[in-house]
Structure 1
Amino acid sequence: MALALLIGIVIVVRGQHSANISETALGASASPSASSSTTPATTTAANVNCDIIVPANPLSAKGLATPYQLTGTGGMTAAQSGCTMTNAASLGAFVQATILNTQTGRLYVYDPLVITQGTTPAVAPTVPVLPRHYVATIDFGFNGTGLYQVGATRHALAQGNCVNGMRGSIFGQQSFCNGTNFFNAAHRMEAEGRLFVPSEGRSSKIIPTGGRLGTGQACPVTHNFDMVDQDPSDNVTTLYLLNPATGQTAQNTTANAANIPGSTTLANGSDNTLLDLFMDPTLGCTPFQVADLANNNQPTSSQALDELLAEKNEPNIRALVPENDEMTLDGQGQFDVAKTNLYRMELGQPLVSAQTNVSSSPAVFCQNMVNIQTPFLAANQTLLATGQSPVTAVGNNLFTFLANRLSMSFTNLGCQNFGLTDPVTVTLDGNGAATAATFTTTVQKASSTSGPTVPSRGQRHGRHHHQYMNPSGM
């Protein structure tokens, strides 16, 4: 397994409670959606993997309200492995459901609760009232390296159509249940005019590349090369409340926050959290939000909503999950088209083809990331510098964080193997956090489209994107 740089930090999410967000680099191995009881146990100090126990009938209202349990792999207990929600910054797991009413086209979000195995919820989860006819997708995010789905019952994973990678090679931090069915239904209803997804919105703050400040610049979405990293479209926007005194968790609702004095907010480092909670507010944009069924229908975002928004408002050059994303590599670290397609299907993205490779083959993904994101950051550095850093150990503000993240993604995707040059020069303080950055905005062209693209696991730094809420994670 790849050992990743694991960074835990405390941030403030939109003025709420403190939130622990971390990221690690992703490694993958072991069987897909099976118990990891055959995975060799590791010591607590070195452990980067956990099991998450999925309840029976996870797509039902009862299943969504039944707490998921976090524990160690290979027979380790939660305490032995460090797989506890009190250790969420390093090994926390997060679950998010997005629900589509297949009659009315209305969308909802519900965040199932994750607890440490052997504990009880700080507050019992709210049982959602679901439409009579619906389809749901469940997304998993993890702040460690590998999260293994384990069914609470023999048929739980099959009941949820849960997907955790290929045999011998899990995705790692991200996994899914029923994503393909959800997006197939959503796309069909959009085509029939029965599901409305809004525009991405426009901002008067964003300076277009090579242009002057004007009005109506399109806000970025998760398929924009303006904001992607080494593992795009990964992890969730779920937040939980933690009672530090008891180690118990609860859903992040207004009522629960009032009833758990001194609670802190736990977060999953993700591209989606980066966009929805950090970039959008700074850029004068608003994420796609719908009713939260656990929180009195208050508006909230989700990973699946971000994907629907990106698909509806595709940029001219779209960033899809590439084959050199570490989560889609096979067990030997090689490109795996089947695994990449499996991941894309769970997010509703088109399969690997000559058409999608025009923008998102390994070499072209690197080329587009360099040629599009670099001038975007350079043009908007003054504005971005006013934003809060998701991870102060990576950058001291949103701009330096994004610049450092771009440089790390360049290395972690093996972009140098395509004849490209890292366009970012970062100034680091004594603790390794970026405090300034300069760019080379000369347009580059990938000179090779074959050969090794990913550095050896020992050479990678940072985790992946969510890591950006760690260097490489968000």
Structure 2
Amino acid sequence: MKHTTNASFFLLMATGLPLIASIFRRFNIFRIYMAGAVRPVMVGLALLVAPVATFAQEINPNCTLIVPHDPLTAAGLATPYQLEATNPSDGPCHETDKNQTTFVQAAIIDLENGQISVYNPLVIDKGTTPAAPPVVPALPTRHVVALWFGFNGNNLALVSASQQNDLPQNHCVQGHGQFAYCNAVEFFKRANHFIKVGRLIVPPIGVDTTAHHEACPTVRSFFVVDQDQSDNLTTEYLFTPDGKIAQNTATNRAALPGSVVKGNPSDNRLLDVFIDGALGCTPWMAPNLADPGALVPALPLNELQARKFQAPPIAQIPLGNPFALDPPFTGRESLRQVNQYRRGVDQRQVNNPEDASTTKYCRKMRAVQPKKLFRDKSTFTAFRSPDSTVADTLFTFMAQRYVGSYEILKCESLLNKPVNVTLKKTEDNIVIDATLLQSKHDFTEQIPLDGDDSGNQME
């Protein structure tokens, strides 16, 4: 089988075409699906040199999610969200299309005891019905609910089903590409209060089972992050053979034979399923109100655990994050956008560009990620790949993800250093090995610490 080594990908990025960032996200090479899910469509890096018009005719990357009335109530949570095209002339949007699948996750905190539960609302196409009615959750008497949204395309817009002021009244924030949230700031405020007074216990992250016995990574570890950290969810849905969708519960799995599970590609899923699985670590999980007796991970649990236990250097959203640009993907760096995004995931607010420096982010990622990846190469090589059409093992998947993130964040120009990992690929563009290229300076360079490393507190 013919192999290639570190082909010159992202050629289009060098042309300065304004749509390239959007095209890249639309054909996201880093999509992560739960084991057993339908295989996602992956476009190899070398294929990005195809003409822009080719991509524009294929899939509409911009969809709108119709948010039910009173979305933070039990009735609102149990009402299916409806997906439609933002601009129908660009083509339809379908929840069953792997490039447009949209996910919603809710977390509920009980104000009597501080305990957190999770509920994953359902998404279906506008005008359709679910394969099974969503479970109406039993919410605590006094509670706070928050919502987070993940999307497999480029830009997800939220609109209210009631045409009232539901979105502002429920503190919904959008305009961050694939990511949006509702009432997250209040949720994290209450959760952090209960943590502070000892009524909500965040489980320790533990240590991994490698020979080095290091602390298990979190979503704010520079070993885990990519170009757009803290995006998307751990939500998963059941897709039936006839194209209908249901919540992933034990009842529905039994009642809908032949269904498959699809999950949201994200840092959260990569960590909770694959990295934790390889390292012998366990994510923090909470009761699933749609599936009695089941425990599930969640984005807010990951962020709260990272806030409490992630040691420096601590990864928090930088100015160069594509979702934090104004507008996302193609716009300018924006402190307002960075802080707005950070508020939705309980991260430190910043007052000047240096506090969210992409240069510092690149330097820390370069210092941390390849070192652990190659030191524990055998561990990651022994674990399955999130997608075998991209890379043959978790090790090679992580390697190509790092190389891509280094490119997207423009780390080479910011650091004046080329990427320090080369990829070996088959003629089909599947990564089958990687090599670490480190100079003496890389081994001796100190990791720079800054305000993000002094703590995770909101300011």
- Same fold? TM cut 0.5: yes
**Which among 44, 53, 56 is matched to residue 69 of structure 2?**
56
Moved over 6 A (4+): 8-12, 22-25
Code of the aligned partner of 1:427: K
- CA offsets, 1:291-342, max 9 Å, x none? 0000113010011110011011022210001110000011252210000000
Question: By how many angstroms is 1:420 displaced?
Answer: 2.6
Counterpart Cα distance in 2 of 1:10 and 1:231? 12
Contact 2:33 2:264 in 1 (8 A): no
**Match in the other structure for 1:81:** 91
Code of the aligned partner of 1:258: A
Contact 2:30 2:401 in 1 (8 A): no
Counterpart Cα distance in 2 of 1:310 and 1:137? 19
Contact 1:428 1:434 in 2 (8 A): yes
> Are residues 1:436 and 2:433 paired?
yes
> Are residues 1:407 and 2:403 paired?
yes
**Match in the other structure for 1:239:** 236
Counterpart Cα distance in 1 of 2:122 and 2:27? 23
**Which among 155, 162, 178 is matched to residue 165 of structure 2?**
155
**Match in the other structure for 1:421:** 418
- CA offsets, 1:249-303, max 9 Å, x none? 0000011011111111121101000000111011100000010000113010011
**Match in the other structure for 1:452:** none
Contact 2:33 2:387 in 1 (8 A): no
Code of the aligned partner of 2:421: V
**Which among 194, 198, 207 is matched to residue 202 of structure 1?**
207
**Match in the other structure for 2:311:** 315
Q: Which has the higher contact order (CA 8 A, sep 6+)?
A: 1
**Match in the other structure for 1:392:** 388
Once the two structures are superposed, the pairs formed by residues 161-240 of structure 1 within 5 Å of their partners are: 161-164=171-174, 170-205=175-210, 213-215=211-213, 217-240=214-237
Counterpart Cα distance in 2 of 1:264 and 1:280? 23
Question: By how many angstroms is 1:47 displaced?
Answer: 1.5
Once the two structures are superposed, the pairs formed by residues 6-405 of structure 1 within 5 Å of their partners are: 6=27, 13=34, 17-21=36-40, 45-75=58-88, 81-87=91-97, 89-153=98-162, 154-164=164-174, 170-205=175-210, 213-215=211-213, 217-245=214-242, 247-331=243-327, 333-353=331-351, 361-405=357-401
Counterpart Cα distance in 1 of 2:93 and 2:422? 36
Question: By how many angstroms is 1:171 displaced?
Answer: 0.7
Q: Please, what is the CA RMSD of the aligned residues? A: 2.3
Contact 2:149 2:233 in 1 (8 A): yes
Contact 1:58 1:159 in 2 (8 A): no
Counterpart Cα distance in 1 of 2:153 and 2:286? 29
Cα distance 1:8–1:113, how it changes in 2: closer, same or farther (>3 A)? farther
- CA offsets, 1:348-401, max 9 Å, x none? 1011247x956x521000000001101111101110011111122321110000
Say which SS state the counterpart of residue 337 (structure 2) adopts.
helix
> Any gaps of 5 or more consecutive residues in structure 2?
1-18, 45-54, 447-459
Question: By how many angstroms is 1:158 displaced?
Answer: 2.1
Code of the aligned partner of 1:365: Y
Say which SS state the counterpart of residue 23 (structure 2) adopts.
coil
Say which SS state the counterpart of residue 99 (structure 2) adopts.
helix
Contact 1:102 1:134 in 2 (8 A): yes
Moved more, 5-14 or 131-140: 5-14
Contact 2:207 2:281 in 1 (8 A): yes
> Any gaps of 5 or more consecutive residues in structure 1?
26-41, 165-169, 206-212, 447-474
TM-score by length of 2: 0.84
Counterpart Cα distance in 1 of 2:204 and 2:176? 31
Question: By how many angstroms is 1:194 displaced?
Answer: 2.1
Q: Give me the identity figure in percent.
A: 36
Count residues with an aligned counterpart. 408
Higher helix share: 2
Question: By how many angstroms is 1:75 displaced?
Answer: 4.1
Moved more, 436-445 or 387-396: 436-445
Question: By how many angstroms is 1:425 displaced?
Answer: 0.3
Question: By how many angstroms is 1:248 displaced?
Answer: 1.1
Contact 1:427 1:434 in 2 (8 A): yes
Contact 1:23 1:90 in 2 (8 A): no
Counterpart Cα distance in 1 of 2:221 and 2:333? 23
Counterpart Cα distance in 2 of 1:330 and 1:126? 38
Contact 1:10 1:19 in 2 (8 A): no
Counterpart Cα distance in 2 of 1:225 and 1:144? 25
Cα distance 1:266–1:44, how it changes in 2: closer, same or farther (>3 A)? farther
**Match in the other structure for 1:167:** none
Contact 2:172 2:183 in 1 (8 A): yes
**Match in the other structure for 2:23:** 3
Counterpart Cα distance in 2 of 1:430 and 1:3? 23
Say which SS state the counterpart of residue 418 (structure 2) adopts.
coil
Cα distance 1:20–1:82, how it changes in 2: closer, same or farther (>3 A)? farther
**Match in the other structure for 1:458:** none
Counterpart Cα distance in 2 of 1:23 and 1:362? 27
